[in-house]
Amino acid sequence: MKLSSINYLVGKGISSVWKNKMMSFASFCIMLVSLLMVGLSVLASININKIISGIEGKNEVIVIVKDGTSDEAITALESSIKEIKNVDTVSFYSREEAWKSMIDDMSKEEKELFQYAEGDNPLPDTYKVSVKNIEKMADTTNRMSTLEGVESVKASNEFADVLISVRNIFSVIALAVIAALIIVCLVIISNTTRTSVFARRKEINIMKYVGATNKFIKIPFQIEGTIVGLIAAVAAFVLTMFVYRGAANLIQDNYQILTILGVDSLYSFRDIIIPVGIAYLIAGAVIGAIGTTISTSKYVKV
């Protein structure tokens, strides 16, 4: 196809948006609602995932160092722990710090009772280890327990298992809901564009009689669909920004549980503005193009 033909078809697609403004507006509204439903579902899903990941991150493993281990051996142990692939962070908690922390948490009477017992500190040196992938928790703790200088490893594998189940179930539900929404949106959009294409079926028929190829007929419709999709994407993005910010503030103000759990706040919109914007634009353009392709196919066959 020549450049002049491409220019012509693109121009035709753009002008059709305006010429068929009522139909374009109907498609725009449907696409906007569809994009919002899918977009907000995805955002809710990634935030819930973040919360679960945050809780997972708090599920630390305590590595208890054997009593009497030398300072060099303790340092070497830290390196050995860090060498395990699934280990994320390692922090040393000396027996002195543990003692001090314990005393600090005591009541005045208890403090008086224990202040002279420091020389007999029974607490061990420990490492607090966080893991990257909670699903490999058991394997990681097993490997740590075999390291030189390790007395024992304490981890709540049951809690990890619960978290894994919660996350897996949530992921399946989220995926199913999003996939269903996408299918529903595509069906609605292709039906809306079909109405638009049906209104112009005579035009398509004439094009076929004068020897237009299917591609030549479809391209302006696809461009029209893509443009409407892009406009809907921009509108959906702006609406999402307001809805998301409002919802995030509401949740963080009213649900102190997130703070209690020590979980970082939800994604701030500023952090995800670029991927959300790009995702909306791509989704709008693709859904618009696919919707019109599905609906024009029927009328292109003469």
Q: Given the rule CB under 8 A, which residues bind other proteins?
A: 1-2, 4-5, 8, 19, 202-203, 205-214, 216, 302
Shortest distance (Å) from residue 222 CB to other proteins: 17
Alpha carbon distance 151, 172 (integer Å): 40
Shortest distance (Å) from residue 259 CB to other proteins: 60
Residue closer to other proteins (CB basis): 106 or 302: 302
- Residue type present at position 134: I
Residue closer to other proteins (CB basis): 4 or 256: 4
Shortest distance (Å) from residue 272 CB to other proteins: 42
Residue closer to other proteins (CB basis): 3 or 274: 3
Shortest distance (Å) from residue 300 CB to other proteins: 11
Whole-angstrom Cα Rg for the chain: 30
Pairing relationship of beta strands 150-154 and 61-65 according to DSSP bridges: antiparallel
Q: How far is CA 90 from CA 9, 67, 81, 106, in A?
A: 61, 19, 8, 27
Residue closer to other proteins (CB basis): 9 or 65: 9
Residue closer to other proteins (CB basis): 73 or 302: 302
Residue closer to other proteins (CB basis): 68 or 211: 211
Shortest distance (Å) from residue 205 CB to other proteins: 7
Q: What single DSSP character describes residue 155?
A: -
Shortest distance (Å) from residue 9 CB to other proteins: 9
Q: Report DSSP letters for 233-302, one per residue.
A: HHHHHHHHHHHHHHHHHHHHHH-THHHHTTPPPPPPHHHHHHHHHHHHHHHHHHHHHHHHHHHHHHHH--
Contact between 288 and 281 (Cβ < 8 Å): no
Shortest distance (Å) from residue 16 CB to other proteins: 8
Contact between 52 and 166 (Cβ < 8 Å): yes
Provide the CA 13 distance to its chain's centre, in angstroms. 35
Joined together, the tokens standing for residue 84 give 């395990």
Residue closer to other proteins (CB basis): 58 or 298: 298
Alpha carbon distance 181, 200 (integer Å): 29
